[in-house]
A and B are shown apart, each in its own frame.
Chain A
Amino acid sequence: MTDVDAPTARLSARGLTRHFTTRVPGRIFAAKRVTRAVEDVSLDLVAGRVTAVVGESGSGKSVLARMLARIVTPTSGELYLEGSAIALGGRRTLNYAAQVQLVLQDPFASMNPVHPVRHSLERPLLIHGARKSEVDELARSVLARVALDPPDRFLDRYPHELSGGQLQRVSIARALCVQPSVLLADEPISMLDVSVRLGILNLLKGLADHERLAILYITHDIASARYLADETIVMYAGQVVERSRGTALIDRPAHPYTQLLISSVPDPSSRPGVDASASASRSFVRAEVGCAFAPRCPHATARCRVECPPAFAIGDGHLSRCWLHADQEGVSVDLATPDRQREGEATKT
């Protein structure tokens, strides 16, 4: 929670933005429509910490992960790996692959059906400089790290012979083979059976706690974010709408969207202090001007529809991009910048 050990970010993003241009169908002189998939997102992935990004489908969270993995090229923004700037636009390099790994959502689809597990583990080892003679030993040790024991039972299996939970462990093992310092996990549990989800979450937690990996955990399941996160970010329509250290924003949601999200989660036990009827509008519309959430927001005012709110600090490291919090402290800060960075700048000036 605290910054006493002044952690340095393994991977930092500043103002990452990605626009997709699509043609409006049905017109001859095609007007181009710009979809703002991700708008001005900044974050720091710190060793030994889990940063959770929560959002619905279409919130841009997966595009964000792919930009961080350098599979999708950002429209604008900056990336820093271990403090040094990465030239955007270029291809994903081997060196970058050795540092930053991405685990995909669907474990069944992310394994090549024609190759056994051994292939999935030996390829990254060989690519990243392991000797042929030691590959087998290394593959076994990685399988043991993701608690697939005994390794011999899994090495020569084909993907269709394993369950979803086991495959997701293999998928994580494949990422670990290159010994990355940053692990990006894009909805790693959403395709898995309920009973094996916690196993994967605990595995990620262990990697952060014991092996000091910096982990980005992307999810639509806010409860699982609460279980893991050291920092939580909520995205809506490509923008960060609320962020906090720890899980403060889940325990005390400030932004109307976060409140709606939390009140929607099925929870048989009591739900304190949140109004479930807040979901005024059904449609997922993104406003072109003003606050993106305004069309669905029960508290929207005239101002929300014309002016996009900046982020307001509403507590220690807790920021909300909503006009509701404008007068709370009267300070507007740049939500795009993580608090650590801001603190650093504050001491400099």
Chain B
Amino acid sequence: MKTLQLPRSPKVLLGLGIVGFFIILTVVGPWLAPDNPSSTAYAALLGPSTHHWLGTTSLGQDIFSQLLVGARATMVVALVAGLVATLLSMVIGISAGYLGGVSDDGLSLLSNVFLAIPGLPLLIVIDSYLPVTSRSNEFVIGLIISLTGWAWGARVLRAQTMSLRNRDFVEAARIIGESRSRIMFTEIAPNLLPVLASSLLFTVLYSIGAYVTLAYIGLTSTATWNWGTMLYWAQANNAPLSNEWYWFVPPGICIALVGTGLALLNFGIDEFINPRLRAGGLSARQRRSLGLPRRPRLGLTPVLAPRPRTARRNVVSS
């Protein structure tokens, strides 16, 4: 098995750092929060200070505490929705791609329908039918979001599966008598791991967007804290118009940061799938130390100047 090693690219490391930070925040955020985010014990609309790092709302709630507590709900919904949607797209996409024929037609139709229906309105409709008690349940909301987010991944996985379906190792598995489900999920699926990972990142990103939107337009319980409800209350109290930036900018920045982190991580997956992206095999530092031109050029293989180091290597080996 390939040993896991830290990626070289600074982009990927940064992405890893950002996403890791927010995942830690998900776990420890509510414990770190200095105050109860709903408590209205303070004066209204205080600016940022050493007491209230991000000021207070018009009801006198501590915004920093809201941000920390809200991280958990936001991230939990995003992760649940991302995982469930990826699982759905995997089962549906691989089955459609491998089985072909009628199953493919049916499953493709299903995913095309879900692709064609605009996700957000559907989400709003489903959500408005939910009993109010489940609107505050992150898992229920996550499941509903995943329902609108699996179709694109399924399309991609179906296409990838179709290109693997006739590969020799799949045929070899058929020859020894392997069952269809085992071929799909132990022979084909592991080969799609990079695609699955990429699909997971994007559905997580989509889910954050969808959840924040739902909360922002007031379709989740406004009593539970997440970054969307923070924006909802800020908007409801005209914060953007009265220059109370400390109320709505921090949750916005957090959402943007998680998105950036996920996108940066995806670069890592690209490099993992396509090693050719790695600057022609030699890192910039190596090229510099060898006195080679910075950019590799096709049709001009570099020639190393005779150096003591190279000479010694030759002597040792000959």
Q: Which residues of A contact B (CB under 8 A)?
A: 69, 71, 92, 94, 97-98, 101-102, 104-106, 109-115, 120, 123-124, 127-128, 158, 171, 174-175, 177-178
B132 within 8 Å of A (CB atoms)? no
Contacts of A113 in B (CB 8 A): 169, 191
Q: Which of B173, B175, B190 contacts A101 (CB 8 A)?
A: B175
Complex contact A171–B172 (CB within 8 A): yes
Complex contact A97–B175 (CB within 8 A): yes
B271 within 8 Å of A (CB atoms)? no
Binary per-residue interface labels of chain B (173-195) against chain A in the complex, 1 for a CB within 8 Å, 0 otherwise: 11111100000000100110100
Complex contact A104–B168 (CB within 8 A): yes
Closest Cβ of chain B to A100, distance in Å, is 9
Q: Of B167, B174, B175, B193, which is in contact with the most chain A CB atoms at under 10 Å from its CB?
A: B175
Complex contact A109–B167 (CB within 8 A): yes
Contacts of A128 in B (CB 8 A): 177
Additional A-B contacts beyond A92-B174, A92-B175, A97-B177 (10; CB < 8 A): A71-B171, A97-B176, A98-B177, A102-B175, A104-B172, A110-B169, A111-B169, A112-B172, A124-B176, A124-B177
Complex contact B168–A94 (CB within 8 A): no
Q: Which of A106, A111, A158, A174 contacts B176 (CB 8 A)?
A: A174
Number of A-B contacts (CB under 8 A): 61
Contacts of A158 in B (CB 8 A): 1
Q: Which of B168, B173, B176, B193 contacts A109 (CB 8 A)?
A: B168
**A-B residue pairs, 5 tightest by C-beta:** A97-B177, A109-B168, A110-B168, A124-B176, A114-B190
Contacts of A115 in B (CB 8 A): 187, 190
Q: Of A97, A106, A112, A177, which is in contact with the most chain B CB atoms at under 10 Å from its CB?
A: A112
Binary per-residue interface labels of chain B (65-102) against chain A in the complex, 1 for a CB within 8 Å, 0 otherwise: 00000000000000000000000000000000000000
Complex CA gap A174/B193 in Å reads: 25
Q: Of A102, A123, A158, A171, which is in contact with the most chain B CB atoms at under 10 Å from its CB?
A: A123
Q: Of A106, A127, A178, which is in contact with the most chain B CB atoms at under 10 Å from its CB?
A: A127
Complex CA gap A9/B304 in Å reads: 64
Contacts of A71 in B (CB 8 A): 171, 174-175
Q: Which of A97, A110, A114, A174 contacts B171 (CB 8 A)?
A: A110
Closest Cβ of chain B to A107, distance in Å, is 9
Complex CA gap A127/B172 in Å reads: 14
Complex contact A112–B187 (CB within 8 A): yes
Closest Cβ of chain B to A169, distance in Å, is 14
Contacts of A171 in B (CB 8 A): 172
**A109-B168, A110-B168, A112-B169 as given contacts; A127 in contact with B191, CB under 8 Å:** no
Complex CA gap A177/B175 in Å reads: 12
Classify the interface of chain B: helix, strand, loop or mixed.
helix
Contacts of B175 in A (CB 8 A): 69, 71, 92, 97, 101-102, 175
Residue of B nearest to A120 (CB): B172
Residue of B nearest to A106 (CB): B168
Contacts of A94 in B (CB 8 A): 177
Complex CA gap A31/B174 in Å reads: 34
Contacts of B168 in A (CB 8 A): 104-106, 109-110
Closest Cβ of chain A to B101, distance in Å, is 13
21 A-B pairs with CB atoms under 8 Å apart are A71-B171, A71-B174, A101-B175, A101-B176, A104-B168, A104-B172, A105-B168, A106-B168, A109-B168, A110-B168, A110-B172, A111-B169, A112-B187, A123-B178, A124-B177, A127-B177, A127-B178, A128-B177, A158-B1, A174-B176, A178-B177
Complex CA gap A178/B172 in Å reads: 13
Q: Of B173, B177, B178, which is in contact with the most chain A CB atoms at under 10 Å from its CB?
A: B177
Complex CA gap A102/B173 in Å reads: 11
Contacts of B173 in A (CB 8 A): 112, 123
Q: Which of A102, A109, A127, A175 contacts B169 (CB 8 A)?
A: A109
Complex CA gap A177/B177 in Å reads: 12
Complex CA gap A97/B168 in Å reads: 17
Residue of B nearest to A174 (CB): B176
Closest Cβ of chain A to B173, distance in Å, is 7
Complex CA gap A127/B175 in Å reads: 11
Closest Cβ of chain B to A200, distance in Å, is 17
Closest Cβ of chain A to B146, distance in Å, is 26
Residue of A nearest to B187 (CB): A112
Contacts of B176 in A (CB 8 A): 97, 101, 123-124, 127, 174-175, 177-178
Binary per-residue interface labels of chain B (193-207) against chain A in the complex, 1 for a CB within 8 Å, 0 otherwise: 100000000000000
Closest Cβ of chain A to B90, distance in Å, is 15
Contacts of B171 in A (CB 8 A): 71, 104, 110
Complex contact A92–B191 (CB within 8 A): no
Closest Cβ of chain A to B183, distance in Å, is 10
Contacts of B193 in A (CB 8 A): 114
Contacts of B167 in A (CB 8 A): 109
Residue of A nearest to B177 (CB): A97
Contacts of A105 in B (CB 8 A): 168
Complex CA gap A106/B190 in Å reads: 21
Q: Of B172, B173, B176, which is in contact with the most chain A CB atoms at under 10 Å from its CB?
A: B176
Complex CA gap A127/B186 in Å reads: 14
Closest Cβ of chain B to A104, distance in Å, is 5
Complex CA gap A120/B173 in Å reads: 9
Contacts of B187 in A (CB 8 A): 112, 115
Complex CA gap A99/B53 in Å reads: 75
CB under 8 Å from chain A, chain B span 144-173: 167-169, 171-173
Contacts of A106 in B (CB 8 A): 168
Residue of B nearest to A128 (CB): B177
Contacts of B174 in A (CB 8 A): 71, 92
Q: Of B172, B174, B187, B191, which is in contact with the most chain A CB atoms at under 10 Å from its CB?
A: B172
Complex CA gap A69/B177 in Å reads: 11
